[in-house]
Amino acid sequence: MLRNIKFSIIILFGVLLTFGCENFLEGDDAGRASIPVFFSDVDGIKAALPGAYSRVYEYYDSEFYLYPEVAGDLLELSAIGENVKMFSQYNFVSEPDQEATAVGHIWAKGYDALANVNNILEYQPLLSTQFPNNKDELLGIRAEALFLRALIHFDLVRTYAQTYTYTEDASHLGIPALTLTPAENELNPRNTMAVVYDQIITDLQEAVDLFSDFPEADYLVPYRGSEMASRALLSKVYLYMQEWDNARAQAHIVLQNVGLTPHDDYVEMFRTLETGEEAIFVLSGQQKVSQVGKFYATSDPIAKASPKLMEVFSDTSDVRLNLLQEKSGTYQTLKYSRPEVNQIEFGSDLYVLRASEVLLIQAEAAIELNDFEQAKESIIRIQSRALNIPEDSLQIKLNTKDELLGVLEKERIKELNFEGQRLFDITRWHHNLKRYENTSSNVKELAYPSHLFALPIPLREINANENIIQNEGY
Give me the architecture of the 7-266+353-464 domain, per CATH. Answer: Alpha Horseshoe (1.25)
189 cis-preceded (ω within 30 degrees of 0): no
Confidence of residue 219 (pLDDT cuts 50, 70, 90): low
Q: What is the pLDDT of residue 80?
A: 80
Q: pLDDT averaged over the chain?
A: 92
Q: Are 424 and 435 in contact (CB under 8 A)?
A: no
Cβ-based neighbour number of residue 212 at 10 Å: 12
Q: Across-strand partners of 351? A: 282
What count of Cα atoms within 13 Å lies in the side-chain half-sphere of residue 194? 6
Q: pLDDT tens digits for 36-58?
A: 889 999 999 999 999 999 999 99
Collapsing DSSP to helix, strand or coil, 35 comes out as helix
Query: Stretch 152-181: mean pLDDT, rounded?
Result: 98
Query: Stretch 124-133: mean pLDDT, rounded?
Result: 97
Query: Stretch 272-301: mean pLDDT, rounded?
Result: 94
pTM of the full structure: 0.94
Three-class HEC string of 132-196: HHHHHHHHHHHHHHHHHHHHHHHHHHHHHCCCHHHCCCCCCECCCCCCCCCCCCCCCCCCEHHHH
Q: Are 98 and 83 in contact (CB under 8 A)?
A: no
Residue 13 has pLDDT above 60, yes or no: no
Q: pLDDT tens digits for 297-329?
A: 999 999 999 999 999 999 999 999 999 999 999
Q: What angle do CA 4, 144, 45 make, to 5 degrees?
A: 65
Query: Stretch 103-118: mean pLDDT, rounded?
Result: 98
Q: What is the pLDDT of residue 83?
A: 84
Residue 445: in which H helix or E strand, if any?
Answer: strand 445-446
Query: How many residues are recorded in the chain?
Result: 474
* Strands 75-77, 303-305: pairing kind: antiparallel
Span of 103-112, 217-226, 247-256, 451-460 with lowest mean pLDDT: 217-226
How many whole angstroms separate alpha carbon 260 and alpha carbon 358? 10
Q: What is the pLDDT of residue 217?
A: 53
Q: Are 10 and 16 in contact (CB under 8 A)?
A: yes
Q: What is the pLDDT of residue 183?
A: 84
Q: Are 78 and 20 in contact (CB under 8 A)?
A: no
Query: Stretch 103-122: mean pLDDT, rounded?
Result: 98
How many whole angstroms separate alpha carbon 60 and alpha carbon 149? 14
Cβ-based neighbour number of residue 188 at 10 Å: 17
Q: Across-strand partners of 282? A: 351
Residue 8 has pLDDT above 80, yes or no: no
Nearest of 319, 340, 337, 335 to residue 420 by alpha carbon: 335
